[in-house]
Amino acid sequence: MLEIGFAKPTLPRSGALILLVGEGDKPAGLWAEADAATHGAIARAFSAAEFKGGKGKTCTILAPGGDLTRVVAVGLGKTAELTPRTLQDAGGHAAAAIARDTTAAIAADTLQPGQAAEVALGAALRAYRFDRYRTKEKAEDKPRLSALTLLNADPAAAQSAWQPLAGVAKGVFLTRDLVSEPPNVLNPAEMADRCRTLIKLGVEVEILGPNEMRELGFGALLGVAQGSVNEPRMVVMKWNGGGTAKPVAFIGKGVTFDTGGISIKPAGGMEDMKWDMAGAGAVVGLMAALAGRKAKVNAVGLVGLVENMPSGSAQRPGDVVKSYSGQTIEVINTDAEGRLVLADVVWYCQQKFDPQFMVDLATLTGAIIISLGHEHAGLFSNDDALSEKLIAAGKDTGEKLWRMPLDEAYDKQIKSEIADMKNIGGRPGGSITAAQFIKRFVNDKPWAHLDIAGMAWSTKDNAVTPKGATAFGVRLLDRLMAAHYEG
């Protein structure tokens, strides 16, 4: 993780300097000092580049004078309209621009301490890199920046504001690490062991193996897992920071690799199915974030961890399984496996914890990508108030949601001739029928299902997310907790 520090506003003598420039702002503070020290080079560069501080715009001046390697101006847009998301994006743009520098500072002298901390969060998130398995990378391809100083009038207050955000960042990084791991490393047992590391943050962790789940009657989840030599796990994580209040619950689909089973997927792109556990990864990261910032909330996170493989012992199309709820399911397509995992874990969550509400996250359907592309995750819910809070949290964090319909008419598509339901309803409305399936395992609890199939992995760099695992859902749900559910 990028080392973040805060110091009094003093013009650096060397390294890179980032200026945060609002639209229409006049030179002041460190900006004015830097321009004077470089004999007007910054003002001339802004004029030549027609840089006016527009949101997300940047202007780089190389070797502007003295020992400064570069000055990077990052536009904030209209300063009267600054939001935490705008500031985080600015920090992310800054981190990307100075990755090749060894020392760097951000002039945050015109910002409040809390605003400076938001800039730091964006920079830290963008600087993430998963390079555990790189052994021959060229030196010129490696980022050099390991520490970043933000210059603010009240560095102590900025540092204090940064501490809880650092906890969130570490949760995001945990999720990104999990989703990035190759499937020969991260099988269900290994992922369960990584969940166990949250104990050091004060999270209670319980791991159920196949025998315990068999005794409970987890027929749907175990059916998915039966074709793999890597045995399944279910992990329950509890953070008790909210006194005697009922917990809030988060549930994640954790298919550590999904071949599709007997209904095998095409070979092209199958390597991407290592991140079919991104929903579970987000739940683990969220629990780490809540514990890391000592959130005043009681939360429980449950993840069902399986590997979906074809073999002589694998589940067949046409099999009928009995779920933990007692409902029976005809398995039409073994590649519609995530909903089977969630069916048992969702029911267990209700029976065991009686939560205030439940949110599940899953890379559930390709159909949601056809509907929403890679801009929004699909939101399905039986509760308007919960949906509105989730959508607002998505806007605040940039992890955007779009509410999709739930309707009894779609239930007809998953009607089985020999069991209580079948696990797939055909191509029309595929993400909706998948949500309708999960809904059959929800009683009268407020519930939301987030289909994050289009959002778990990015093929390009974004403001605060480098190419790769996004950890979508961690900041979204942390924001939901901070805004509405903490004491």
Q: Dmax over Cα atoms in the chain, in whole Å?
A: 82
Does position 141 have pLDDT exceeding 80, yes or no? no
**pLDDT band (50, 70, 90) for residue 139:** confident
What is the structure's pLDDT at 487? 77
- Count the Cβ atoms, other than its own, within 10 Å of residue 486: 13
Q: Which of 446, 220, 191, 231 is nearest to 322 (CA)?
A: 220
- Per-residue CA distances from 1 to 15, 147, 171, 392 (Å): 20, 9, 11, 28
Average pLDDT over residues 2-19: 96
Cα 376 to the center of its chain, rounded Å: 13
Report d(CA 176, CA 156) in Å as an integer. Answer: 30
Does position 401 have pLDDT exceeding 90, yes or no? yes
Average pLDDT over residues 246-266: 98
Nearest-10 crossing angle of helices 113-126, 155-180: 20
Report d(CA 391, CA 21) in Å as an integer. Answer: 30
Share of the chain above pLDDT 70, in %: 100
Catalytic residue among 265, 322, 395, 403: 265
Report d(CA 64, CA 260) in Å as an integer. Answer: 56
pLDDT digits (tens, 9 = 90+) for 143-174: 889 999 999 999 999 999 999 999 999 999 99
What is the structure's pLDDT at 283? 99
Fold classification of 3-153 (topology level): Leucine Aminopeptidase, subunit E; domain 1 (3.40.220)
Catalytic residue among 57, 339, 422, 440: 339
Q: Burial of 305 by CB count in 10 Å (0-12 exposed, 13-18 middle, 19+ buried)?
A: buried
Active site residue 233: no
**pLDDT band (50, 70, 90) for residue 1:** confident
pLDDT digits (tens, 9 = 90+) for 229-239: 999 999 999 99
For tokens 């108030």, name the residue.
385
- Computed on alpha carbons and rounded to an integer, the radius of gyration of the chain in Å comes to 24
Share of the chain above pLDDT 90, in %: 95
What is the structure's pLDDT at 2? 93
240: left (phi over 0), alpha (psi -120 to 50) or beta: beta
> With contact defined as beta carbons under 8 Å apart, do 339 and 438 qualify?
yes
**pLDDT band (50, 70, 90) for residue 65:** confident
Does position 33 have pLDDT exceeding 80, yes or no? yes
Does position 350 have pLDDT exceeding 80, yes or no? yes
- Count the Cβ atoms, other than its own, within 10 Å of residue 252: 33
Task: Name the β-bridge partners of 322.
Answer: 328
| Mean pLDDT taken over the chain | 97
What is the structure's pLDDT at 172? 98
Report d(CA 195, CA 206) in Å as an integer. Answer: 9
Question: What is the domain partition of the chain in residue ranges?
Answer: 3-153, 168-484
Does position 137 have pLDDT exceeding 90, yes or no? no
pLDDT digits (tens, 9 = 90+) for 403-459: 999 999 999 999 999 999 999 999 999 999 999 999 999 999 999 999 999 999 999
What is the structure's pLDDT at 245? 87
What is the structure's pLDDT at 278? 98
Report d(CA 61, CA 59) in Å as an integer. Answer: 7
Report d(CA 305, CA 43) in Å as an integer. Answer: 56
> With contact defined as beta carbons under 8 Å apart, do 152 and 123 qualify?
no
Q: What are the φ and ψ backbone dihedral angles of 120, each rounded to 5 degrees?
A: -60, -40
Amino acid at 281: G
pLDDT digits (tens, 9 = 90+) for 169-178: 999 999 999 9
Report d(CA 263, CA 414) in Å as an integer. Answer: 18
**Which one is the CATH code of 168-484: 1.20.1250.20, 3.40.630.10, 3.40.640.10, 3.30.70.270?**
3.40.630.10
pLDDT digits (tens, 9 = 90+) for 259-307: 999 999 999 999 999 999 999 999 999 999 999 999 999 999 999 999 9
The three state secondary structure string of the chain is CCEEEEECCCCCCEEEEEEEEECCCCCCHHHHHHHHHCCCHHHHHHHHHCCCCCCCCEEEEEEEECEEEEEEEEEEECHHHCCHHHHHHHHHHHHHHCCCCCCEEEECCCCCHHHHHHHHHHHHHHCCCCCCCCCCCCHHHCCCCCEEEEECCCHHHHHHHHHHHHHHHHHHHHHHHHHHCCCCCCCHHHHHHHHHHHHHHCCEEEEECHHHHHHHCCHHHHHHHCCCCCCCEEEEEEEECCCCCCCEEEEEEEEEEECCCCCCCCCCCHHHHHHCCHHHHHHHHHHHHHHHCCCCCEEEEEEEEEEECCCCCCCCCCCEEECCCCCEEECCCCCCCHHHHHHHHHHHHHHHHCCCCEEEEECCCCHHHHHHCCCCEEEEECCHHHHHHHHHHHHHHCCCEEECCCCHHHHHHHCCCCCCEECCCCCCCHHHHHHHHHHCCCCCCCEEEEECCCCCEECCCCCCCCCEECCCCHHHHHHHHHHHCCC
pLDDT digits (tens, 9 = 90+) for 174-228: 999 999 999 999 999 999 999 999 999 999 999 999 999 999 999 999 999 999 9
What is the structure's pLDDT at 392? 98
For tokens 């013009």, name the residue.
11
What is the structure's pLDDT at 140? 74
Report d(CA 231, CA 207) in Å as an integer. Answer: 13
Work out the end-to-end distance of the chain between its first and last CA atoms, rounded to an integer number of angstroms: 30
What is the structure's pLDDT at 135? 87
Active site residue 412: no
> With contact defined as beta carbons under 8 Å apart, do 95 and 122 qualify?
yes
- Count the Cβ atoms, other than its own, within 10 Å of residue 200: 8
pLDDT digits (tens, 9 = 90+) for 98-117: 998 999 999 999 999 999 99
